[in-house]
Amino acid sequence: MPELPEVETIVNDLRKKILNEKIINIEVRLEKIVKNSKEEFVSILKNNSFKKITRRAKFLIFELAKGDYFLVIHLRMTGQLIYQKEKEIIAGGHSQEKDLLELPNKYSHVIFSFANNGKLFFNDLRQFAMAKIFTKETLNQYLSTYGIEPFDKNFSQDFLKKLLKNKKTNIKAFLLNQKYVVGIGNIYADEILFASLVNPKRNTSSLNDDEIKNLYNSIKKILQKAIKERGTTFNNYVDADGNKGGFLKFLKVYQKEGEFCQNCKQEKIKKIRLAGRGTSYCEKCQK
């Protein structure tokens, strides 16, 4: 699933391409991806434009120029947003081996056509992704259950300490729970815990002040680095400019099971099932 760095990268890329461009057509090929009626979805978007694109948690939020409306997209496990104009392609989301120039394809479920001859393809292999039109009021209600952003000015070491206090769960499950701190998924949870030298099985309430400080700093550092590197990509999935997720080369534990730890160089990375997800860590380094 695309996590905060990947979604942030998509937002930054699309801002340069589709802001204020008139939407001249909407083709909905798979209606279950759209959580409004097809008629309402198309009528609100057609002849409108996006005046602002932001991110909240793992959601992409497109504010429309006309009307009190917001298009919200969640890519879930295998969703992609691919912008194409002539030979230019800007792609983001789930990795795939297929040639991106083969558009539209059988996974292209919603297609946005713009007046500048550009197209935005909303693809999804497993059809778990979603797109929905909200008003400002309904959007605020929908997002109200989500936790704090890692780069919010109010997210401090003390704030994190209060969140951790009296929780009866392991730290890996805490990091994955979007009602506490948003945007962290399986890849970055494992990397954050390794950087913090904290065992993923630890109960949240067992962390001391130094460990909380390390955890807080690691959340910021890992996510900032991943955004800078355009997220993580596990195959040859690139856009026409040759851009791809470069954080792959900085991974220390995720998908490194069986390899010697890059820190202690003595213990092999172990993989277990925790919080319903595969979890990789070093037993020697992470206490």
219-250 per-position pLDDT tens digit: 999 999 999 998 987 554 445 455 667 899 99
Question: Are 128 and 193 in the same domain?
Answer: no
Residue 149 lies in a domain: no
Q: How far is CA 273 from CA 37, 47, 172, in A?
A: 39, 48, 11
Confidence band for 201, pLDDT divided at 50, 70 and 90? very high
Residue 8 lies in a domain: yes
Cα-Cα-Cα-Cα dihedral of 265, 244, 51, 111, to 10°?
A: -130
Predicted local confidence at residue 236, as pLDDT: 45
Report which of residues 92 and 146 the model is more confident about.
146
Tokens of 61: 């939020």
CATH number for the domain including 195?
1.10.8.50
Domains held by the chain: number: 2
Please give the mean pLDDT across all residues of the chain.
Answer: 93
Considering only CA atoms, which of 188, 18, 6 is closest in space to residue 92?
6
Question: Are 167 and 121 in the same domain?
Answer: no
**Per-residue model confidence as pLDDT tens digits over 43-79:** 999 999 999 999 999 999 999 999 999 999 999 989 9
CATH number for the domain including 18?
3.20.190.10
Residue range of the domain that includes 244: 157-281
Q: Mean pLDDT, to the nearest integer, of 205-228?
A: 97
Residue after which a domain boundary falls, among 109, 143, 177: 143
Q: How far apart are CA 210 and CA 213, in angstroms?
A: 5
Residue 151 lies in a domain: no
Buried b (16+ CB within 10 A) or exposed e, 46-80: eebbbeebebbbbbbbbbbeeeebbbbbbbbebbb
Predicted local confidence at residue 14, as pLDDT: 95
CB of 170 closer than 8 Å to CB of 271: no
H or E element at residue 212: helix 209-228
Cα-Cα-Cα-Cα dihedral of 130, 135, 139, 142, to 10°?
A: -80
CB of 77 closer than 8 Å to CB of 139: no
Q: How far is CA 190 from CA 101, 176, 265, in A?
A: 34, 10, 18
Question: Are 24 and 118 in the same domain?
Answer: yes
Question: How many CB atoms lie under 10 A from the CB of residue 272?
Answer: 14
Report which of residues 256 and 100 the model is more confident about.
256
Question: Are 179 and 117 in the same domain?
Answer: no
Predicted local confidence at residue 198, as pLDDT: 98
Residue 286 lies in a domain: no
Question: Are 12 and 72 in the same domain?
Answer: yes
Predicted local confidence at residue 237, as pLDDT: 46
Confidence band for 87, pLDDT divided at 50, 70 and 90? confident
Percent residues over pLDDT 90 in the chain:
86
Give catalytic residues, as residue numbers: 2-3, 58, 277
